[in-house]
Amino acid sequence: MSSAYKIFPGLMRNLGLGLSLGLALPVVIGVISPNRLQPAIAQKAAQRSPIQITADIQEYDAKSQVAIARGNVQMLYSSRGIKATATQAQFFRRENQIVLSGNVFILQQGGNSIRGERVIYLIDSGRFIAQPQSGRQVESIYIIEEAQNNAASAPKTPPLKRK
């Protein structure tokens, strides 16, 4: 007999019982315990904030869950600081994305902007995918805040050499 068994006979018996119930015990504790830990994804509360779209004409198909706005479209997503204008907007509820088309201009809080013919806004990730009109380019402006004390230490940009 081991020395641990002689010193703690009750503990060793309970440990043996616990090992034999090893598979059932976590399941029972998990079901009975009201304070059990939930996965992180379950703890994250869904955040809901409105996206306001105004336009000359709007349609909504409840079956496909697609809203279409046409003519002088203006979009305001206040909680993310986004304002946009376009000729048309399509909101795909199932995919949680908005497709803006026709002379799209998006202005973000802080001054960043995007201009293009078609812009897809992926709401969940906060990403914009901009596409130009045929034969043109997408234009983006990003405002970069520079610290005043670092301006002197930044390297100079070499002059552009033209051929």
CATH number at residue 124: 2.60.450.10
| Model pLDDT, residue 131 | 97
Q: pLDDT for 1-27, tens place per residue?
A: 544 444 444 544 444 444 444 434 333
Residue 10 lies in a domain: yes
Number of Cβ within 10 Å of residue 86's Cβ equals: 28
- Are 35 and 71 in a shared domain? no
- Are 73 and 127 in a shared domain? yes
Domain that holds residue 113: 52-141
Average pLDDT value for the chain: 78
C-alpha 72: how far from chain center: 27
Mean of pLDDT values over 49-61: 96
SS3 104: strand
- Cα distance between residue 88 and residue 69, in whole Å: 6
Token couple for 105: 């201009």
- Are 133 and 110 in a shared domain? yes
